[in-house]
Amino acid sequence: MTVGVFLFSLLGAMAIGMPIAYALLICGLSLMAFMAATGALAAFDSQILAQRFVDGADNFPLLAVPFFLLAGEFMNAGGLSRRIVNLAMAWVGHFRGGLGYVAVLAAVIMASLSGSAVADTAALSALLIPMMRQAGYQVNRSAGLIAAGGIIAPVIPPSIGLIIFGVAGNVSITKLFLAGIVPGILMGVAIGIAWWIVARRENVQPAPRVSMAERLRLTGQGSLAIALPVVILGGMKFGVFTPTEAAVVAAVYSFVVGMFIYRELKPAHLYGLILSAGKTTAVVMFLVAAAMVSAWLITVANIPTEVANMLSPFMGNRILLMLVIMVIVVLVGTALDFTPTVLILTPVLMPVVLKAGIDPVYFGVLFIMNNAIGLITPPVGTVLNVVSGVARITLDDAFKGVMPFFIAELIVLFTLVLFPDIVMVPLKWLLR
């Protein structure tokens, strides 16, 4: 019955058009009222809801979110993103379908800088779609490739999604970052292979080969951008700074490089960039705070136990349980955006995962990857909406274009479910 109240209140509030954050608060109110009426709680107490709401946002690791968002703004305005595209163009642009490989390589590199799928997709779309359209590539296929590349950002560190999951699930963010490296790279390889298959039907001339001297020059220009993920991951691995401190380092680094070295970031830009990062942070933090109210009541109402009982036929087989959970998350991801899905499902699924003996770091990476794939599935598909807007095509055309790459990334996801060592062995090596 408690699960029914949880689902009815949450989905009902969303069905009437209520924003997700407010729907989560309504869900918390409904759960508390139901438990008070049935005697599971002594009384309905609105002060507890207010306290849990404030405590949800009062979390030190969440400070990483605004700083990584600000770093992404500085990178795009300061010329780091453009230099990464130029670097990729110099090395792989001359292959058949070369601009597609540029998009894939640039997406992987940029994912290791900002951690935001929407920001990376917007930047790559603005830079590459006009070039691909002018070169004669199918626009919907180009848009689909860029969208599929953009969702690598929540998987490869530094990832805002992994930070939110780590906070909601009480899992080490440093371990999540390190565990996300190999899956993120595999996503890039998978969409690169899918593009190789698709590009054989593209009747376009590759870009001229760039001389080695020019390649080295462009690599030198982009080296400061490429150095950032090395600094971040190296600093966390050797204990120089925490993930939250790494976000500050990323913001300061991108600011200094953009302002004083590349000199494309101007003082006049700062107010707008900080305001943009602040607005996005406010949305994320309000969602997190509201979700913590529901998460506490989910725990008090013992909903994870009820869910575990529902999944009990699969509890004896970790791989089968993970397959079932991943299928559920894929379906939920078509209807909910990334952050709400993470915040709603994490407190429900984590106790089930721990009871089954599944490593929470391994689960977290696959869970975030699954939710990232949801960003390119309609009707919500935030990244798909962004790329269709930039490319000036319909959402249906964008989804048709993304389909081969969507399938490729699903193959990677379910391969990692079947073979957990692909994630865990590199993680153990990195933690040595």
| DSSP annotation string for 342-380 | HHHHHHHHHHHHHHTT--HHHHHHHHHHHHHHGGGSTTT
**Quick check: 34 pLDDT over 90?**
no
Give the per-residue pLDDT at 40: 66
- Most confident of the ranges 60-64, 234-238, 255-259, 278-282: 255-259
Distance between CA atoms of residues 67 and 277, nearest Å: 8
Residue scoring higher pLDDT (390 or 303): 390
Residue 423 tokens, joined: 């994630």
**Concatenated DSSP letters of 25-52:** HHHHHHHHHHHHHHTSSSS--HHHHHHH
Using alpha carbons, list the distances in angstroms from residue 428 to 173, 225, 229, 425.
Answer: 15, 28, 20, 5
* Interval 292-309 mean pLDDT: 82
**Quick check: 131 pLDDT over 70?**
yes
* Interval 305-312 mean pLDDT: 84
Angle at alpha carbon of residue 92, lines to 89 and 95, rounded to 5°: 120
Cα 374–chain centre separation:
10
Q: Is 145 in contact with 191 (CB distance < 8 Å)?
A: yes
Distance between CA atoms of residues 34 and 21, nearest Å: 20
**Quick check: 23 pLDDT over 90?**
no
Residues with Cβ within 8 Å of 252's Cβ and at least 6 positions away in sequence, in order, are none
The per-residue pLDDT for range 188-233, each reduced to its tens digit, is: 999 999 999 998 877 777 778 889 999 999 999 889 988 988 888 8
Distance between CA atoms of residues 315 and 72, nearest Å: 41
Give the per-residue pLDDT at 170: 92
- Residue 42: which pLDDT band, with cuts at 50, 70 and 90? low
Listed residue (110, 92, 109) closest to 101, CA to CA:
92
Give, as one character, the DSSP assignment of residue 210.
Answer: P
- Most confident of the ranges 53-67, 110-124, 404-418: 404-418
Give the per-residue pLDDT at 429: 92
126-161 core/surface letters (b: 16 or more CB in 10 A; e: else): ebbbebbeeeebbbbbbbbbbbbbbbbbbbbbbbbb
- Whether the pTM exceeds 0.85: the reply is yes
Using alpha carbons, list the distances in angstroms from residue 342 to 163, 168, 284.
Answer: 11, 8, 12
Residue scoring higher pLDDT (363 or 122): 363
Give the per-residue pLDDT at 197: 93
Helix, strand, coil shares of the chain, percent, nearest 5, are 80, 0, 20
* Interval 172-192 mean pLDDT: 96
- Number of residues that this document lists for the chain: 432
Distance between CA atoms of residues 150 and 108, nearest Å: 8
Residue 327 tokens, joined: 């299928």
The per-residue pLDDT for range 327-377, each reduced to its tens digit, is: 999 988 887 889 989 998 999 999 999 999 999 999 999 999 999 999 998
- Residue 305: which pLDDT band, with cuts at 50, 70 and 90? confident
Residue scoring higher pLDDT (419 or 306): 419
**Quick check: 43 pLDDT over 70?**
no
Give the per-residue pLDDT at 230: 86
Give the per-residue pLDDT at 51: 86
Across all residues in the chain, what is the average pLDDT? 89
* Interval 52-70 mean pLDDT: 87
**Concatenated DSSP letters of 94-147:** TSTTHHHHHHHHHHHHHHTT---HHHHHHHHHHHHHHHHHHHT--HHHHHHHHH
Give the per-residue pLDDT at 403: 96
**Quick check: 105 pLDDT over 90?**
yes
Give the per-residue pLDDT at 161: 94
Give the per-residue pLDDT at 306: 83
Angle at alpha carbon of residue 361, lines to 64 and 55, rounded to 5°: 45
* Interval 270-289 mean pLDDT: 91
Scanning the structure block, which residue is given the tokens 């670097």? 87
